[in-house]
Structure 1
C-alpha cells in the first residue's frame, strides 16, 4: 500500500495547479514580464506504470540485512518516465512553439524553454516582476492549469513562479560582541562531537566510504572557515564536493545571519560528527523548481552516490500546491528504493509553523512519509551525561520545534500503532504524524560553529537533520551496507528496542510530549549504539 496524498495516486486533474506559487514575502512594485523573455521550465512526469515494482513501504518493512535496493539503472526501467509520456510532452511542446531541453528519464524530469508570452497563454497565467524582500522575482498570477495534452503524463510544471518557497530552519543565539570564548558566552552550547558522544554515536568503523548529501538553497561556505574550524577540533577537514544545480553554486554572502549560516552549519555538523565522510553540497536557487532539481540530482547522483541526504530547508505544507508536493514525494520514493535515507528538518516555529491563521501546520518536505522528519529538543548535559532533555519551545521569542499532523498525507500504515493523534484543527484529519525523531535544537544549548569568520552558536532543527544524517552514515559504515528508508522499521520494530531516548516533557504549542511517540519529539533523540545494534539484528 502506498502512503501518498490522494492526488498522487494518479496524475493531477486538469484544474489542479501546474506550477507552484510561493508565499515568502508580500509583493511590492509590479511590472509585466517582457513577452520575449525566455523562461526555462521543469516538467515532472509520472512514474511508468507498466512494470512490477515494489513500493517504498514494502522495502522499508524489511530488515536492513534482508533488503535489496535497486541500482539507478534498474530504477530507470522500473520507475522512470515512460517513453510514450516523454513523446507526448515533447510533441505538445514542439507544436506550442517551445524548445525541448535535456531529458532525464530516470529522474522523470524534462526541461522546456519558451517565451514568456507563449507560456503565459499555454498555462493561463499572467507573468509579472515583483519586488520582494528577497529581491526582484518573477511571479505567476492566477491558477496555472495544465494544457489538455499534459494532463495524463505530467505531475507538475515548475519554473513559472520564482518566489522563494523555503526557509532555512536555523536560529542564531544572540551573543555579546565580541563573544570571546563561546564556552563562556554560551555555557550550555556544544561542539558537535560532544553531542555525538552524549548521544552515544558508534565508534570504530571508518566512514571514509560514506557520502552525505546536503541540499542548499542559497549562500555558501568559505574553505578558510572549514580549515580553522576542523583544525581547532583536531579533525580532518571534510572533502566537500560542490554540485551546482539549476544555476545554483557555492556563493557565500559574507553574513552568518543569511543562508551562509545554514550551509556552513550543515557542513560543520555533518563533517565533525561523521569525521572522514565525504560531503556533497547541492546548490540550487530557492524556488520550487530549484528545490526539486537539487533533491532529484542528489538522489540520482551516480558520481557522488550519497547514501544519506540532509535537508534543512522547508516551508508550511499549506503553502505548497498539491502537484508540487506529489513531485517531491515521488522523488523521495525513488530514494527509498535506491537505499538512500533522507533526513529533513521539521521546522522552527512550533505547531503553527509560522502561519498566522490560528491553525496548526506542519513543515514540508518534512511532512512526506518517505523522509525521516527531525524535530528539536533542549538538551542540558554535564560531564558528558544528560541532565535533562525536553521539547524545544522558546516561543514567542526564540522558536520551537515543528511537529504535528499533515493535512495532505494520510496516516501511513506503519504509523497506525504509534498513537498519532488527530489533527488539532477543525475536522481532526488523521494524517501522517511528525517528527519521527529529534535531537538538540535549542539555540541556548546549540552548536558552536564558525561562519564567515565569525564564531557563532546556532540552533534549530536545521542542525538536527545533519546530526541524524551523520549518525546514519556511521551506522551504514559499521554495517557495510546502505540503510535506506527507515520509517517503517523504526515504528514497527526498532523503537521498541531503545534506539532513541524518549522525550516526555514539553510541547510545541498544539501537541505535547508523552511516553512513546509524540507529535513534537517523535520517538526521541539518538541512542546511537543501541540503534546500530538494532539495525544489525
Structure 2
C-alpha cells in the first residue's frame, strides 16, 4: 500500500479479481499522493440475480427480428439483477469504520459511492497510489492490484476512483478536409442526414425524433444556451429541449478557452439539427474511469428521462483498461441491451494509433467503449468528389502542431474482445498488433468532416468520429420513432442487412509517415465497417 501501511494481518486481505492496473505509457513518478485529498470511490457489488442469465437473454433477443423483440423495464431489471440491500449495508458499515461517508447508494446500479480522504480510502482498500507526470498532465495513478478485506471478497466486484487519469479526447478540429462542396463554415449536420437518406416520414408521421430522448455523455466542458439559440436559428430548426444532468458533481461548465466545450457543442448541435423533436439529456461527469462509468450507467438507468439511445464521443484504448473496468462497462451495456437502449460510440480520430501525437506510445490500439461488442462503433469517412472514402487527412503525427495531425477513422481488431456472433463468417483481417482475430471495429461509418458548429461565439467547421456518433444516434432515434419501438442492441440487425449500406472501398486508416493501417475494401473493413447506412433502406429492411 502506498503512503502508509496497514496494521491488519496480511491473511485478512485478498486481491480484487481484475483490478491489476498498469500505468499509462510514458508516465514518470513525481512523488507521493496527497493523503489529505478528498476522493470519491465507486464500489460496485454483486448482482442478486445471475448475470449469465441476463447475458443469455440479451443474446437470445438480439437474434430475433425487430418486430419479435421484447425488452424488460428498468423496474424489472432492478428487481431481478440489482443489488441486495444487505450487500450495500455491508459496504456502508465497513466504510464507516474507516471514516468514509456514503455519498450515494443505489440498488438498481449495484453501487455505493464513498467519500473521504485518500488516507482513509487506502486504509479501507489497499492500493499502490502515487502521483505521476504524463503528456496529458499530472495525475494520481494506481498500479498493481487492489486488496479488499476478506469479509467483502464475495460482495465487491469493482472499485473505481483511485486513478484520475483522463479519458482520451481529441481537440476540436479547426478546418475541414473535404474537397467536395464544403464551405468555410462547414455544413449543417442535416445536410449529411440528407446525403445518407435518413427517413423523414413514415405512415404520414414526420420523423424528427419526437418522443425520443438522446443521451449525450460528456466528461468536461459545457454548452452556452446563447450560442445554441443562435446556431439553431442559423440552421432554421427549432431549439431542441436540452437538459444538463449532473453526475458525481460534474456540471455544465463552459469556459472561454475550454477545448471540451467544442466536443459538447458538437454533440448537441449535430443531434439537435437532425433530431430536433428529441429531448437531449447531457450527462456531465468528471473525466475519469469512475466518472465515465457512472455517467453511462446513469443514462442507461435514468427512469425519469428514459433515453432510447446513448451517444458517447469519449474513450481510450481498450488495452489500457483493467479487467474489472472492462467487465463493469460490459455489464452496463448488457443492461442497456436488455432495456432496449442503443449505445453508439466513436471509433476514434487517429486511425490505428487511437491516441494523438502527443500521447501516442508507438503501438496499435482500438478505442473503448466502442470496441465492446454490445456497442455500435461509429467510424468516419470524408467526401471526395461526392464519393465517401475513408476519413484520413494524410498528415503525419507532429506534436508541434495544434492537435498533432494524423486525423483518420479509428478502427481495427480488438485484443480484448473476441469475435462477436454477428461478425462471424466475415472475411476479417487479423490484428496488425497481435495477429489474432477479435472484435472488429468500426461497425458503420459516415462523414467525419466539415460539420458546421458554433463554439465560444464563433461559427466554423468541426468533425471527427465524435460527430458521426450523434449523427448515427439521430438515425436510431428516427427509426425508433417510425417503428414506435426501440431498436435496442442494433448490431445484429445491421449485419443481417448489409445491403442497407453503401460499401466504402477507398482509403486506409494508417497515419502517413507514421504507422501502417488497415485498407478499405469490398465488404466489411476495419476502417469503415459495413459502410455508410442508407437510412430509407434500413427503415424498410428492419420493418420486415
TM-score > 0.5, shorter chain as reference: yes
State the secondary structure of the residue aligned to 2:307: coil
User: Residue in 2 aligned with 1:416?
Assistant: 424
User: Residue in 2 aligned with 1:392?
Assistant: 391
Contact 2:184 2:461 in 1 (8 A): no
Unaligned runs of 5+ in 1: 1-12, 176-181, 382-386
User: Residue in 2 aligned with 1:378?
Assistant: 382
State the secondary structure of the residue aligned to 2:497: helix
Asked if residue 456 in structure 1 is aligned to residue 460 in structure 2, the reply is yes
Structure 1 residue aligned with 2:532, among 520, 525, 528?
Answer: 525
State the secondary structure of the residue aligned to 2:315: strand
Counterpart CA distance in 2 for 1:494 and 1:174 is: 32
Counterpart CA distance in 2 for 1:217 and 1:138 is: 17
| Pair 1:415–1:457, CA change in 2 (3 A) | same
| Pair 1:103–1:419, CA change in 2 (3 A) | same
How much has 1:506 moved relative to structure 2?
1.3
Counterpart CA distance in 2 for 1:19 and 1:477 is: 44
State the secondary structure of the residue aligned to 1:261: helix
| Pair 1:421–1:174, CA change in 2 (3 A) | closer
How much has 1:369 moved relative to structure 2?
0.6
Counterpart CA distance in 2 for 1:289 and 1:78 is: 24
Structure 2 residue aligned with 1:488, among 489, 492, 505?
Answer: 492
How much has 1:172 moved relative to structure 2?
3.0
- Report the more deviating stretch, 399-408 or 416-425: 416-425
Structure 1 residue aligned with 2:443, among 433, 436, 445?
Answer: 436
Contact 2:20 2:143 in 1 (8 A): no
State the secondary structure of the residue aligned to 2:523: coil
| Pair 1:378–1:245, CA change in 2 (3 A) | same
User: Residue in 2 aligned with 1:245?
Assistant: 247
Structure 1 residue aligned with 2:256, among 254, 257, 265?
Answer: 254
| Pair 1:293–1:478, CA change in 2 (3 A) | same
Counterpart CA distance in 2 for 1:169 and 1:520 is: 21
Q: For residues 256-298 of structure 1, give each alpha carbon's deviation from its aligned partner in whole angstroms, at most 9, with x where no partner exists.
A: 6x00110000000011011221100000110011101100110
State the secondary structure of the residue aligned to 1:409: coil
User: Residue in 2 aligned with 1:7?
Assistant: none
Structure 2 residue aligned with 1:211, among 213, 217, 224?
Answer: 213
TM-score of the aligned structures, taking structure 2 as reference length: 0.86
Counterpart CA distance in 1 for 2:303 and 2:543 is: 27
User: Residue in 2 aligned with 1:201?
Assistant: 198
Contact 2:20 2:322 in 1 (8 A): yes
Counterpart CA distance in 1 for 2:306 and 2:456 is: 29
Unaligned runs of 5+ in 2: 1-13, 397-404, 511-516
Counterpart CA distance in 2 for 1:19 and 1:218 is: 27
Q: For residues 141-187 of structure 1, give each alpha carbon's deviation from its aligned partner in whole angstroms, at most 9, with x where no partner exists.
A: 55433443333332321111212133247533279xxxxxx96436x
Counterpart CA distance in 1 for 2:307 and 2:294 is: 16
User: Residue in 2 aligned with 1:507?
Assistant: 508
Contact 2:347 2:441 in 1 (8 A): yes
User: Residue in 2 aligned with 1:328?
Assistant: 329
Asked if residue 406 in structure 1 is aligned to residue 396 in structure 2, the reply is no
| Pair 1:193–1:466, CA change in 2 (3 A) | same
Q: For residues 392-439 of structure 1, give each alpha carbon's deviation from its aligned partner in whole angstroms, at most 9, with x where no partner exists.
A: 12242341111111111111122112222221223x222111111111
Alignment RMSD, CA only? Answer: 2.5
- Report the more deviating stretch, 314-323 or 152-161: 152-161
How many corresponding residue pairs? 503
Asked if residue 139 in structure 1 is aligned to residue 138 in structure 2, the reply is no
User: Residue in 2 aligned with 1:316?
Assistant: 317
| Pair 1:406–1:147, CA change in 2 (3 A) | farther
Counterpart CA distance in 2 for 1:40 and 1:19 is: 19
Counterpart CA distance in 2 for 1:50 and 1:192 is: 43
